[in-house]
Amino acid sequence: MRANTSPTGLALLLILAGLLLSFTSITAAFTTDEPIWRYLIAGGCLVQFLGWFAHGGRNGGGR
């Protein structure tokens, strides 16, 4: 049996939301001088990590 390699559902939502937040925050960090963007970049990366972690856990990890 072959595992589904594409994220779906909540995992896909988390991955895309984290990616969007990270890219937007990186762009804003380069154009403004506000330190809050650093925290939003880290938050976006964390959300994306959680999405990939949820996807891997549902598919049995590295098996």
**pLDDT, tens digit, for every residue of 2-17?**
666 888 899 999 999 9
Domain-located, residue 32: yes
Tokens 């970049």 belong to residue: 41
How much is the pLDDT for 60? 63
**pLDDT, tens digit, for every residue of 17-59?**
999 999 999 999 999 989 999 999 999 999 999 999 998 876 6
CB neighbours of residue 61 within 10 Å: 9
Q: How many separate domains does the chain show?
A: 1
Domain-located, residue 63: no
Domain-located, residue 2: no
Computed from CA positions of residues 32, 33, 39, 42, in that sequence, does the dihedral angle turn out positive or negative? positive
How much is the pLDDT for 5? 81
How much is the pLDDT for 3? 60
Predicted confidence (pLDDT) at residue 1 exceeds the cutoff of 80: no
